[in-house]
Amino acid sequence: MINAGMFLPTYSCKTIYDFDYSKFFKEGKRYLIFDLDNTLVTYSESRANLEIIEFVNKLKAIGYEVAIVSNSPGFRVKPFLHDFNVIGAYSSKKPFLRKTRNILKSFNNPSLGKCLFIGDQLLTDVLVANRLGLDVLLVDPLEKSTEKWYTKINRFTERFFARRAKKKFPVKYSEVLERRYG
């Protein structure tokens, strides 16, 4: 039986720009792991735009170490790793843990409590973060119309798990998922 709580993010907001990273840094967070597609950039973008590069640089200036963990293939992810000058993993097969664990190790094995995973999908990003014991920020997808067919299947399946979470954890659900799933 799947634990519905594994599909509940710690936090949620509309975009990556709506979260208070400075406050979080003051609370002891030091590591940010981002999903790439529909979290940082849309599927239709092949390189990072100036706005998102400045955003990542601002996070690094605060003091964060930043990484990207994506299920997309290397030819898609590598240009963004270069643009952002960050470490990352591609073809990660989230929610499997191996590549995300490798990124954590490259952070010199930080305390899991100092790491925040940021993504747009319950079935990949939220689940991998919860399986590893990381805090997770769920953001709305940037542009659903350009999503791949398999992501569209995930979006459909997410609703099932969101309903289960609503039944088992109504208070937490109302805090982090109600805005998105009703």
Sequence-separated (6 or more) residues with CB below 8 Å from residue 40? 16, 34, 48, 52, 56, 68, 80
Amino acid 166: pLDDT: 81
pLDDT in tens, 46-73: 899 999 999 999 999 999 999 999 999 9
pLDDT in tens, 151-179: 777 777 788 777 888 888 888 888 888 88
Cis check: omega of the bond before 73, within 30 degrees of 0: no
DSSP string, 146-161: G--HHHHHHHHHHHHH
Average pLDDT over residues 81-104: 95
Q: Is residue 34 within 8 Å of residue 66, measured between CB atoms? A: yes
Per-domain residue ranges of the chain:
4-177
Rg (CA), the chain: 15
Amino acid 149: pLDDT: 73
Average pLDDT over residues 130-140: 95
| Pairing of the two strands 115-119 and 135-139 | parallel
Closest alpha carbon to 120 in 82, 83, 80, 72? 72
CATH 3.40.1190.20 fits domain 4-177: no
- What confidence tier does 43 reach under pLDDT thresholds 50, 70, 90? confident
